[in-house]
Structure 1
């Protein structure tokens, strides 16, 4: 059982991570709207990147849906040289999952995070087979033309209830600070 507070907290943590990690430039527009089901947007040729955050109390699957189309390639991989769109998205989605993991750490100890892997979007209907306690999907549009989606699927092994502090200021990463 996942309380309404915990569901709202997980959603807030995910949306914060998406807004802070997926846009490549700070001023890029990032619109996020709920989807009715994880596979509403998925087409058979689409792919998904799956990451897992696990604890003693739950398993959280974070699924990013993407198409290898011109808009997505131009946005994420145009200036990366020999790095493929898939490799670029694996790294970006890993950073996004890491941000979710960081925001969950104050409430849950001993979290483990998987490495990302790619599957066909045809597997999305099988998320229901996991009998998740919480399943929610979102359409993501960056700069009005790059379309992705994200799904969070949480299977609880015990009751989960927490209220995430969403007032914390986003910290920068990768920068050295000298005192």
Structure 2
């Protein structure tokens, strides 16, 4: 069972991560609103970046929906002087976003592991139900009224989950590498 406090906390943590890591410039505006079922209906050609955070008590999937064919999305995430491929850059940005979620959750759950990002077709979204999640929520993410992404949080609990996260305002950081 995942308490209402825990669901709210996870959502606030996700919002912080999205606003701090999916935006490329400090002045960018990121809006996040609830989306329809699984968030994919408004992005029929979407692909999914799937990241997983796992612990003893739960497995959390963070699924980011993107249209690889959308030129505005490419231009936003790939700067003109970059020679890197869009997918390479976007996967790293998604990984940084998930890393913020992971770091926040570590305050409440020790020993978490995080997967590397992988890409699936949006046709896979209905299969999230097979995981029997206790928390499944989708969002439409808009950056600067021009870039449209989707996001889904899918959380499966193996034990009761109840916590209240103290989420600070979005911090200005430049993507430091953490060494273990």
Same fold (TM > 0.5)? yes
Q: Does 1:63 align with 2:87?
A: no
| 2:37 partner SS | coil
| 1:115-154 equivalences in 2 (<5 Å) | 115-154=116-155
> Relative to structure 1, is the Cα distance of residues 111 and 80 closer, same or farther in structure 2, using a 3 angstrom cutoff?
farther
Q: Distance in 2 between matches of 1:56 and 1:50?
A: 20
1:19 is the counterpart of 2:22: no
- Cα distance in 1 for residues equivalent to 2:81 and 2:108: 37
SS of match in other structure, 1:125: helix
Give ranges in structure 1 of 5+ residues lacking alignment: none
TM-score, normalised via structure 1 length: 0.92
The CA deviation at 1:40 is 2.7
5+ residue gaps, structure 2, are: none
What is the alpha-carbon root mean square deviation over aligned residues? 1.5
Secondary structure of the 2:48 match is strand
Query: Which contiguous aligned blocks of 4+ residues in structure 1 show a shift greater than 6 angstroms?
Result: none
Q: Deviations over 1:25-52 (max 9, x none)?
A: 0001111101132133341x32000000
Determine the structure 2 residue equivalent to 1:33. 33
Compute the TM-score of the two structures, normalised by the length of structure 2: 0.92
The Cα shift of 1:61 comes to: 0.3
1:129 Cα deviation (Å)? 1.2
Q: Aligned pairs, how many?
A: 174
